[in-house]
Amino acid sequence: MAEETGLFIYGIVPSDVEPTPDAPGVGDPPGEVTAIVYGDLAALVSEVGLEQPIGRPADLTAYQTLLDGTAEVAPVLPVRFGTVVTGPDAVADLLDAHHDRFAAALDEFEGRVQYTVHGRFDEQELIGDVLAQNRGAADLAEQVRGRPEVETREQRIRLGEMISQAVELRREAETRELVDALTPVSLANAPRQPSDELDAVNAAFLVDADDEEEFIRVLEEFAEQRRDLIRMRLLGPLAPYDFVSAHELAE
């Protein structure tokens, strides 16, 4: 008996956008990515087995690679990862029911892409900074240095709490300074929750294509001023995941 299939939806695009011929889709084996056109809109889709689990790292990579590649040449509204419908008619119904909002959003995001800035503290540099600026923490560090953990458990707990609080405050300050620095060269920003206790900054920025070079220049200057303390990483250009979702527009 043949396996039932559905259509995995990647994103909504203008009707003249076509997927790269060799773009790998999700699934095992990967489905061929095609465009289902409805008026002036289209949905990028690929066929998947309805009983096939979707969520492998390769699936997420395929989803992001397709959307990010599309965002470099055309506006795209990402659809929430894992969205599967029964077939072309369901896709057409989606595009018809939410046409005006999808079309308006595509116009808004024409020539705009997302960049994500992620920075992580160098642990030793950060602790050194905290101890240099906090006499109480420095005293506790001196009390526990070279002594058995069992004898200094309370001091170590207090020291850990003080360092954790200092890291949180420093993260908030660095995020504010990052947003302040990049606001003049971006259209919007979306700070993210830290993914690690040593995260210094984690934020997405919506950038106009005409401002990309200046955005990168300003970020490089920001990163250079903190190169000993923070290891900075820039991801992009990306589809505007943090600023628009076709799924949310359809709700």
Question: Does any domain span residue 243?
Answer: no
pLDDT per residue over 174-190, tens digit each?
A: 999 999 999 999 999 99
Domain housing 186: 113-238
The mean pLDDT value of the chain amounts to 87
Same domain assignment for residues 87 and 139: no
What are the tokens at 112?
A: 């705009």
Look at residue 249 in the predicted model and tell me its pLDDT. Answer: 65
pLDDT per residue over 124-167, tens digit each?
A: 887 777 777 777 666 666 666 766 666 667 776 776 777 788 88
Same domain assignment for residues 63 and 140: no
Report the percent of the chain where pLDDT is more than 70.
Answer: 88
Look at residue 122 in the predicted model and tell me its pLDDT. Answer: 87
86 Cβ neighbours under 8 A, 6+ residues apart: 6, 7
Same domain assignment for residues 57 and 166: no
Question: Does any domain span residue 73?
Answer: yes
Nearest to 15 by CA among 101, 95, 111, 97: 95
DSSP string, 11-26: EEEETT----TT-B-S
Of 70, 92, 110, the last residue of a domain is: 110
Counting the structural domains of the chain, the total is 2
Of 62, 81, 110, the last residue of a domain is: 110
Average pLDDT for 37-44: 95
Q: Does residue 94 surpass a pLDDT of 60? A: yes
Question: Does any domain span residue 21?
Answer: yes
Look at residue 88 in the predicted model and tell me its pLDDT. Answer: 93
Same domain assignment for residues 81 and 131: no
Question: Does any domain span residue 100?
Answer: yes
Same domain assignment for residues 101 and 132: no
Of 110, 134, 169, the last residue of a domain is: 110
